[in-house]
Structure 1
Amino acid sequence: MTGEPAFFSVDRTPHGDVLTPLPTAAGNWGPNRMRGLAVSGALARAVEHAVPDSEFRPVRWTLELCRVATMDRCHADVRIIRTGKRISLVEADLLQGDTKVATARALFLKPDPDVSTADVWSQTSQLQCPPTDLSPGTEEPRLHYSDDTGWVSTPASDHNGTRKIMWVLGVRVAEDEALSAFQFAASAADVASVVGNWGTAGMQFINADVTLALARLPQGLEIGLAATDRVETDGISTSTVTVFDRSGTLGTAVVCALANVHASVDPRMR
């Protein structure tokens, strides 16, 4: 497993795990900056390990990006806010030294596969998944979709203002651990900001948070994210993204972002 990419190496100490960022965790916003996928994945890993009942299913993941996370060692501080027979609420901070760089809250519910409910409206159209034999053409483990070309291995050569859909493949959080479905979904949710805010000048918005709501976990370590709505006023944007896999829709992600036009990012570059 050590040959596969991962965001962190792990030093297991008596006081908890210490994570050291690997090159895969580096972001594009500036030197020595950690990418949101790694931040979200680190906290999801910590939260998942703290859940008292393995039968609980994660249904909401909210990540707040408090400060710039650097490519320095970090650790998570986890708190169980509430736990009961059908619900568990867990909160975690990501710390670098004494500085809190991110905080997250996860809601877990216990599913009941035998429950029978009445009909309620839901979207019936299915989003198109990429061919199973199509592989990413860059270092980023992603595929790209447009109405003109369908699914392709690399992003368009020019920036554009069309709707964005991406297919994301899993990157392990810790280099010596298997990636769980929840860690993958929570980490990949940060891509919702790219899907929602990539326009004719690249990425001019930097997200302050992401909230992921799930009816189920992905079946396999690959998911799609499709922009469904976006509102922008006075340099503030909110984007709503549908999350899906080859079996259908999983849930939605919502991202709030601020304009950052003086330090735009080209999502085509790694």
Structure 2
Amino acid sequence: MTVRPAHFVHTAADTFLPTANALSRWGAGQLNGPALVGLAARTVEEQFGLEEFMPARLTVDLFKAAHSVPTVATTRLIRDGRRVRNSECELLQDGVAVARATLVQYRRSSAPRGEEWSATMDLPLPADVDDSSYVRVGSDDGGWSPNISDHRNSSRKRFLNRAIDVVEGSVNTPLVNAVYAAEGTSLVANLGTAGIGYINGDLTVALARLPVDEWIYVQADSHWVADGISTGAATLYDRTGAFGTGVITAISNPAAQLDFADEGALAGSL
């Protein structure tokens, strides 16, 4: 039986050991963003998620670079309300917090009366997605391809990120897949003609519903920069349409800029 790839191995009640799949390109031994936000989402949902509540917002603050060492995940229920539940997860390495996630859940109910405005936009899908597909990067100028290096341009970006399992032996939930993919908001917002020179310090994922399958797309909506600070927002969508928004803030990191000039880097490895 083939072992499915994963970012972490669950070694104790609250401890996870990163695998090679969790490594980042930002520095030797550093972990990538999707692995961290995925672990935080999985942990807080596993502890406090309820079927009758929709996980409407997850915000992850990435305090410092995380490394390939045992990672402890702690959780806390902040508020257990009738219509709103708030909880958090903290990831610690060597006793120091490297990330903290807060989850807001709303009780599912019927919609109010009336009609509201909703944005209309093109949501492109690549033609060659199948069970072997994990990443497709797209841009207005470059079409779709498996490689980031094909999209070092200044046009609008989008990508498909089909998550591998966050924890070995545990298949991702729809929430975990959505959060994992949404971490690519930094990629689609900040990728330019010289690669990526910003590193995001947070991620907020706002969801109206959960994705219908594993194939989740992220398309840039906005990108504003000044004084070495970047903000970006993106629409999350699946084969049936848009279902949420990703938002990031990022800080200039030119000393470790990833230019992708000579490699076909996968988006999930940033």
Give the alignment's TM-score, normalised by structure 2: 0.91
Could you say if the C-alpha distance between residues 228 and 69 of structure 1 is closer, same or farther in structure 2, counting changes exceeding 3 Å? same
Q: Say yes or no: does 1:124 pair with 2:120.
A: yes
Could you say if the C-alpha distance between residues 153 and 99 of structure 1 is closer, same or farther in structure 2, counting changes exceeding 3 Å? same
Match of 1:95 in 2: 92
What does the per-residue CA deviation read over 1:214-246, in whole Å, with 9 as the maximum and x for residues that have no partner? 100111011111111111000001011111111
Q: Say yes or no: does 1:237 pair with 2:230.
A: yes
Match of 2:10 in 1: 10
Q: Say yes or no: does 1:26 pair with 2:23.
A: yes
Q: Secondary structure at the match of 2:189?
A: helix
Separation in 2 of the partners of 1:266 and 1:55? 45
Of residues 217, 220, 225, the one that matches 2:213 is 220
Match of 1:35 in 2: 32
Which amino acid is 1:250 matched to?
Answer: F
Q: Secondary structure at the match of 1:202?
A: coil
CA contact (8 A) 2:199 2:251 kept: yes
Separation in 1 of the partners of 2:129 and 2:31? 31
Q: Say yes or no: does 1:85 pair with 2:99.
A: no
CA RMSD of aligned residues (A): 1.9
Q: Which runs of 5+ in 2 are unaligned?
A: none
State the 1:149 CA deviation: 4.5
Separation in 2 of the partners of 1:199 and 1:125? 22
Q: Say yes or no: does 1:50 pair with 2:47.
A: yes
Identity of aligned residues (%): 34
Q: How many equivalent pairs are there?
A: 263
Q: How does 1:166-181 map to 2 (within 5 A)?
A: 166-181=159-174
Give the alignment's TM-score, normalised by structure 1: 0.91
Of residues 64, 67, 87, the one that matches 1:67 is 64
Which consecutive aligned stretches of 4+ in structure 1 deviate over 4 angstroms post-superposition? Answer: 134-137
Of residues 153, 162, 172, the one that matches 2:155 is 162
* 243-252 or 183-192, larger mean C-alpha shift: 183-192
State the 1:53 CA deviation: 2.7
Which amino acid is 2:235 matched to?
Answer: T
State the 1:134 CA deviation: 5.5
CA contact (8 A) 2:139 2:151 kept: no
Q: Secondary structure at the match of 2:209?
A: coil
CA contact (8 A) 1:2 1:176 kept: no
* 234-243 or 150-159, larger mean C-alpha shift: 150-159
Q: Which runs of 5+ in 1 are unaligned?
A: none
Separation in 2 of the partners of 1:23 and 1:245? 28
CA contact (8 A) 1:136 1:153 kept: no
Match of 1:200 in 2: 193
CA contact (8 A) 2:58 2:103 kept: yes
